[in-house]
């Protein structure tokens, strides 16, 4: 298959052969002021699995300037319950398979695949360097980092890098039971970072004990992953092209079709020293957050309600042990009439609020023995380990 | 939550004080020292309790670890290679322990042979930063995983003791996977 020739300038001309005509129409309709600006932006996507690959495809079809893709996994037939990858790509690294597909879809987009595990000590400096210099012409930072990873360690790694580099990023996630997800905008110093509090999860009206079934690590649905990817890219477009309201935190529960919008404030006692540093910078030099200009739209009036459609409240009464710290959270809105923080909870009880989970009362002796060994060098201790 | 045996095991492992990752230079050397002291104490505890079940060593920098873990089943010793890297964000993030030989053999595992921890692991780890270290990850993560998964894999014939497979009889009591 041969990909189409590259297009130098985006055109608004409405012809069948113009892949950008419907995107440029956003300008004519007053939604976006200058759509072609999208070609100047560079977005890094970390994790090109169920959410990341779909997000990458959406941004590619939107004509983004440059995509930097990070993953260290291979495509497997087990991934075929999700979108994007195809059976013939099994065995390829995800980033090379994605790059091949995306370049074919839109050759105007610069695609840079990086097959590496960012959590490893030797990969991390390279990852940091790309955030710092990965814009379209490699002269400055990327415009946005999208986290589409599926584990705590990788999220924390992205968080660490972005706090250090003062880099805005968006985090996304889908629950292990595949029926809820979220996206979150993180602006260092201005909103809660990933280390400020335990991760928030949408409380689904399901007995939590049923979520970990025998012999299963995680379930996944192409629907939930596609929806979360859609929210993530929609938020990305609004952020980059400055239209609409950029969501701070958007939660989605598929079982009840419930949506929740939150604003998360940073924790001044955050474990991440760079997060605390960014907060102080914000306090001494606060950035004014401008609302994106809202286009004037004609209100649609419905004369009759032939189908008897009515709006119903979908609030659910979920017991919530890991109650969120209300001082750090503002409810923006919810898809239900009543807005309640019971619809979201921490993944686990925050450190400050809980008693130690292990009994360490008899630990004084072992702690003392550790102190007595202070004079031994690392080499001595390593040798001792080997001899055991 | 965590069972009493694991709780007791954890309470006898020295707690760590230094919050440092391999990016933190001299502080990491101090952390590494504490890690090694805790591991040595944990192995001693295990030997005293007649429950010696792993050996570990690392590279000079203490960023890459490997070794062996074993379990006794029906008087036979099943031994596996284990490995893990210290993540950049350690100790905020726990190490992901892998048993490469078992990659793809069980659903309780991620790609590359990384073991799938129980629901209790992450919250417990997060609440005990920086006090928990490698020894705690083994006691709270790998130990219970082996205790649950290996008997099941043996019962299903996925893990076979090498003495039982004529083609690969070895002097050491290690195991092979089908």
Comparing A181 with A298, which gets the higher pLDDT? A181
Residue A307 has pLDDT above 60, yes or no: no
pLDDT of residue A90: 92
Q: Which of A263-267, A297-301, A334-338, B43-47 has the lowest mean pLDDT?
A: A297-301
Q: Please check whether residue A159 lies inside any domain of the structure.
A: yes
pLDDT of residue A289: 55
Domain ranges of chain B: 9-155
Q: Please check whether residue A2 lies inside any domain of the structure.
A: no
pLDDT of residue A236: 98
Do residue A354 and residue B127 have CB atoms under 8 angstroms apart?
yes
Collapsing DSSP to helix, strand or coil, B132 comes out as: coil
Domain count for chain A: 1
Q: Please check whether residue A6 lies inside any domain of the structure.
A: no
Q: CATH code at A84?
A: 3.40.50.720
Q: Which tokens sit at A251?
A: 């939660």
On whether any CB of chain B is under 8 Å from the CB of A156, the answer is yes
Cα distance from A36 to chain B (closest Cα, Å)? 38
Residue A24 backbone dihedrals phi, psi, to 5 degrees? -65, -20
Residue A353 has pLDDT above 50, yes or no: no
Collapsing DSSP to helix, strand or coil, B75 comes out as: coil
Question: Known catalytic residue: B116?
Answer: yes
Binned at pLDDT 50, 70 and 90, residue A320 comes out as: very low
On whether any CB of chain A is under 8 Å from the CB of B34, the answer is yes
Q: pLDDT tens digits, residue range B97-106?
A: 999 989 888 8
Of A73, A121, A382, the CB nearest to B36: A382
Binned at pLDDT 50, 70 and 90, residue B175 comes out as: low
| Mean pLDDT (chain B, rounded) | 86
Give the CATH fold of the B9-155 domain: Ubiquitin Conjugating Enzyme (3.10.110)
Binned at pLDDT 50, 70 and 90, residue A368 comes out as: very low
Share of chain A above pLDDT 90, in %: 43
Residues of A whose CB is below 8 A from B119: 212
Q: Please check whether residue A333 lies inside any domain of the structure.
A: no
Which residue, among A11, A101, A117, has the nearest Cα to A53 in the 3D structure? Answer: A101
With a CB-CB cutoff of 8 Å, which residues 145-164 of chain B face chain A?
none
Q: pLDDT tens digits, residue range A191-204?
A: 999 898 877 665 65
Do residue A119 and residue B87 have CB atoms under 8 angstroms apart?
yes
Domain range for A230 is 33-205+217-284
Cα distance from B9 to chain A (closest Cα, Å)? 10
With a CB-CB cutoff of 8 Å, which residues 5-24 of chain B face chain A?
7, 10-15, 22-23
On whether any CB of chain B is under 8 Å from the CB of A269, the answer is no
Closest B-chain CA to A271: B92
| Mean pLDDT (chain A, rounded) | 80
Q: What is the mean pLDDT of residues A222-235?
A: 95
Q: Please check whether residue A188 lies inside any domain of the structure.
A: yes
Q: Please check whether residue A299 lies inside any domain of the structure.
A: no
Cα distance from B17 to chain A (closest Cα, Å)? 10
Comparing B34 with A203, which gets the higher pLDDT? B34
Residue B119 has pLDDT above 50, yes or no: yes
B11 Cβ partners below 8 Å, 6+ apart?
A: A358, A359, A360, A361, A362, A363
């Amino acid at each position: 298959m041969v990909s189409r020739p590259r297009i130098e300038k985006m055109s608004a001309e409405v012809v069948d052969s113009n892949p950008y005509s419907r995107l440029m129409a956003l300008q004519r309709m007053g939604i976006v002021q200058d759509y072609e600006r999208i070609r100047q932006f560079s977005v890094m996507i970390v994790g090109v699995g169920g959410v990341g690959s779909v997000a990458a495809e959406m941004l590619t079809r939107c004509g983004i300037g440059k995509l930097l893709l990070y993953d260290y996994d291979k495509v497997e037939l087990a991934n075929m319950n999700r979108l994007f990858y195809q059976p013939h790509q099994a065995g390829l690294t995800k980033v090379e398979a994605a790059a091949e597909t995306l370049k074919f879809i839109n050759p105007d987009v610069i695609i840079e695949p990086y097959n590496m595990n960012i959590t490893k000590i030797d990969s991390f400096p390279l990852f940091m360097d790309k955030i710092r210099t990965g814009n379209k012409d490699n002269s400055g930072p990327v415009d946005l980092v999208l986290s589409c990873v599926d584990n705590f360690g990788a999220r924390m790694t992205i968080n660490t890098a972005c706090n250090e580099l003062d880099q805005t990023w968006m985090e996304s996630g889908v629950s292990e039971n595949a029926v809820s997800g979220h996206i979150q905008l993180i602006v260092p110093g201005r909103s809660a970072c990933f280390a400020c509090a335990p991760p928030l999860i949408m409380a689904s009206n399901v007995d939590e004990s049923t979520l970990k079934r025998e012999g299963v690590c995680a379930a996944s649905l192409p629907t939930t992953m596609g929806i979360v990817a859609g929210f993530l890219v929609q938020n990305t477009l609004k952020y980059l092209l400055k239209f609409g309201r950029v969501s701070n935190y958007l939660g989605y529960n598929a079982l009840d079709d419930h949506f929740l919008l939150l604003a998360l404030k940073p924790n001044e006692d955050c474990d991440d020293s760079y997060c605390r540093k960014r907060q102080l910078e914000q306090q001494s030099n606060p950035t004014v957050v401008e609302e994106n200009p809202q286009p004037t739209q004609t209100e649609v009036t419905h004369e009759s309600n032939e189908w008897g459609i009515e709006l119903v409240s979908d609030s659910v009464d979920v017991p919530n042990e890991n109650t969120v710290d209300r001082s750090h959270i503002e409810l923006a809105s919810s898809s239900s009439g009543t807005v309640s923080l019971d619809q979201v909870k921490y993944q686990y009880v925050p450190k400050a609020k809980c008693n130690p989970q292990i009994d360490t009362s008899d630990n004084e002796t072992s702690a003392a023995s550790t102190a007595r060994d202070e004079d031994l060098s690392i080499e001595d201790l390593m040798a001792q380990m080997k001899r055991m | 939550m965590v069972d009493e045996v694991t709780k007791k095991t954890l309470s006898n492992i020295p707690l760590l004080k230094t919050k440092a990752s391999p990016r933190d230079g001299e502080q990491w050397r101090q952390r590494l020292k504490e890690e090694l002291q805790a591991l040595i104490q944990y192995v001693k505890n295990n030997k005293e309790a007649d429950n010696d079940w792993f050996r570990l060593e690392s590279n000079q920098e203490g960023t890459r670890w490997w070794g062996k873990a074993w379990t006794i089943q029906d008087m036979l010793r099943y031994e596996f290679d284990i490995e893990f890297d210290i993540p950049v964000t350690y100790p905020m993030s726990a190490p992901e322990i892998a048993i490469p030989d078992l990659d793809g053999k069980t659903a309780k595992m991620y790609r590359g042979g990384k073991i799938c921890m129980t629901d209790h692991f992450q919250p417990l780890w997060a609440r005990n930063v920086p006090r928990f270290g490698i020894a705690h990850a083994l006691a709270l993560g790998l130990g219970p995983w082996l205790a649950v998964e290996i008997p099941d894999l043996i019962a299903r014939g996925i893990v076979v003791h090498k003495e039982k497979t004529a083609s690969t009889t070895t002097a050491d009591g290690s195991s092979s996977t089908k």
